[in-house]
Amino acid sequence: MSITSIGQQPLRDTPQSNGIQTQEQNSAVKVFSRIEQEVKPYERMTDQEIEDSLHKLETLSTVFGNKVKFTIDSNLDRLIIKVMDPDTDKVIKEIPPVALQKLQIRIKEALGLLFDEKV
Protein backbone atom coordinates (compact mmCIF):
# COMPACT_ATOMS: atom_id res chain seq x y z
CA MET A 1 0.00 0.00 0.00
CA SER A 2 1.29 3.43 -0.88
CA ILE A 3 -0.10 6.83 0.12
CA THR A 4 0.06 9.12 -2.88
CA SER A 5 -1.68 12.23 -1.61
CA ILE A 6 -3.15 13.96 1.38
CA GLY A 7 -6.23 15.91 0.45
CA GLN A 8 -5.34 17.42 -2.88
CA GLN A 9 -1.61 17.78 -2.19
CA PRO A 10 0.47 15.04 -3.90
CA LEU A 11 3.24 13.51 -1.86
CA ARG A 12 6.75 13.10 -3.18
CA ASP A 13 7.44 10.04 -5.30
CA THR A 14 8.32 7.07 -3.19
CA PRO A 15 10.62 4.24 -4.20
CA GLN A 16 7.73 1.82 -3.60
CA SER A 17 6.11 2.53 -6.95
CA ASN A 18 6.77 -1.01 -8.18
CA GLY A 19 5.17 -2.68 -5.13
CA ILE A 20 8.47 -3.63 -3.48
CA GLN A 21 9.07 -2.22 -0.03
CA THR A 22 12.41 -0.61 0.64
CA GLN A 23 14.48 -1.45 3.68
CA GLU A 24 13.50 1.88 5.27
CA GLN A 25 9.81 1.14 4.79
CA ASN A 26 10.23 -2.36 6.22
CA SER A 27 11.92 -0.93 9.29
CA ALA A 28 9.14 1.68 9.61
CA VAL A 29 6.53 -1.08 9.57
CA LYS A 30 8.47 -2.92 12.28
CA VAL A 31 8.66 0.20 14.45
CA PHE A 32 4.93 0.90 13.98
CA SER A 33 4.21 -2.69 15.03
CA ARG A 34 6.42 -2.29 18.10
CA ILE A 35 4.70 0.98 19.04
CA GLU A 36 1.34 -0.70 18.58
CA GLN A 37 2.36 -3.48 20.97
CA GLU A 38 3.77 -1.02 23.52
CA VAL A 39 0.60 1.07 23.59
CA LYS A 40 -2.07 -1.06 25.18
CA PRO A 41 -5.65 -0.10 24.32
CA TYR A 42 -7.80 1.62 26.94
CA GLU A 43 -4.87 2.37 29.23
CA ARG A 44 -4.29 5.95 30.30
CA MET A 45 -0.88 7.09 29.08
CA THR A 46 1.24 9.59 30.93
CA ASP A 47 2.15 12.87 29.22
CA GLN A 48 5.74 11.65 28.85
CA GLU A 49 4.63 8.40 27.17
CA ILE A 50 2.48 10.39 24.75
CA GLU A 51 5.39 12.75 23.95
CA ASP A 52 7.72 9.78 23.37
CA SER A 53 5.24 8.05 21.06
CA LEU A 54 4.66 11.23 19.07
CA HIS A 55 8.40 11.78 18.73
CA LYS A 56 8.81 8.24 17.35
CA LEU A 57 6.04 8.87 14.82
CA GLU A 58 7.62 12.17 13.76
CA THR A 59 10.92 10.38 13.17
CA LEU A 60 9.23 7.72 11.06
CA SER A 61 7.39 10.22 8.88
CA THR A 62 10.59 11.14 7.04
CA VAL A 63 10.64 7.64 5.53
CA PHE A 64 7.57 8.54 3.49
CA GLY A 65 9.01 11.74 2.02
CA ASN A 66 7.26 14.29 4.24
CA LYS A 67 7.77 15.57 7.73
CA VAL A 68 4.88 15.14 10.16
CA LYS A 69 4.69 17.15 13.35
CA PHE A 70 2.37 16.20 16.21
CA THR A 71 1.45 18.71 18.90
CA ILE A 72 -1.17 18.85 21.60
CA ASP A 73 -2.97 22.19 21.74
CA SER A 74 -3.52 23.11 25.38
CA ASN A 75 -6.43 25.45 24.54
CA LEU A 76 -8.30 22.74 22.68
CA ASP A 77 -6.89 19.77 24.61
CA ARG A 78 -6.57 18.13 21.23
CA LEU A 79 -3.93 16.59 18.96
CA ILE A 80 -2.87 18.75 16.01
CA ILE A 81 -1.12 17.11 13.06
CA LYS A 82 0.93 19.11 10.55
CA VAL A 83 2.23 17.55 7.34
CA MET A 84 5.24 19.60 6.26
CA ASP A 85 7.67 19.78 3.37
CA PRO A 86 11.00 18.58 4.84
CA ASP A 87 13.05 20.96 2.70
CA THR A 88 11.19 24.22 3.35
CA ASP A 89 9.30 23.38 6.58
CA LYS A 90 6.20 24.80 4.88
CA VAL A 91 2.92 23.34 6.19
CA ILE A 92 1.24 21.31 3.43
CA LYS A 93 -1.77 20.18 5.45
CA GLU A 94 -2.96 20.72 9.02
CA ILE A 95 -5.45 18.42 10.73
CA PRO A 96 -7.83 19.73 11.98
CA PRO A 97 -7.67 22.83 9.76
CA VAL A 98 -6.73 26.15 11.39
CA ALA A 99 -10.20 27.61 10.75
CA LEU A 100 -11.80 24.71 12.62
CA GLN A 101 -9.34 25.12 15.51
CA LYS A 102 -10.23 28.82 15.82
CA LEU A 103 -13.93 27.98 15.70
CA GLN A 104 -13.53 25.41 18.48
CA ILE A 105 -11.70 27.96 20.65
CA ARG A 106 -14.48 30.52 20.08
CA ILE A 107 -17.14 27.94 20.98
CA LYS A 108 -15.26 27.04 24.17
CA GLU A 109 -15.03 30.73 25.09
CA ALA A 110 -18.74 31.24 24.40
CA LEU A 111 -19.61 28.24 26.56
CA GLY A 112 -17.38 29.65 29.28
CA LEU A 113 -19.44 32.84 29.26
CA LEU A 114 -22.69 30.88 29.56
CA PHE A 115 -21.62 28.28 32.12
CA ASP A 116 -19.31 28.65 35.12
CA GLU A 117 -18.11 25.06 35.44
CA LYS A 118 -17.99 21.68 33.71
CA VAL A 119 -20.11 18.85 35.04
- Give the C-alpha separation, 26 to 87, whole Å: 24
Of residues 36 and 19, the one with the higher pLDDT is 36
**pLDDT at residue number 46:** 82
Quick one: pLDDT band at residue 97, thresholds 50, 70, 90?
Answer: very high
Indicate the average pLDDT of the chain.
75
State the greatest distance between any 2 C-alpha atoms of the chain, in Å, as a whole number.
59
**pLDDT at residue number 87:** 87
Burial of 4 (0-12, 13-18, 19+ CB in 10 A): exposed
Question: Among 80, 77, 8, 31, which residue's Cα sits nearest to residue 69?
Answer: 80
Q: What is the mean predicted confidence (pLDDT) over 21-31?
A: 69
Of residues 94 and 35, the one with the higher pLDDT is 94
List of residues 6+ apart from 47 with CB closer than 8 A: none
Question: Does 103 score more than 90 pLDDT?
Answer: yes
Question: Does 25 score more than 80 pLDDT?
Answer: no
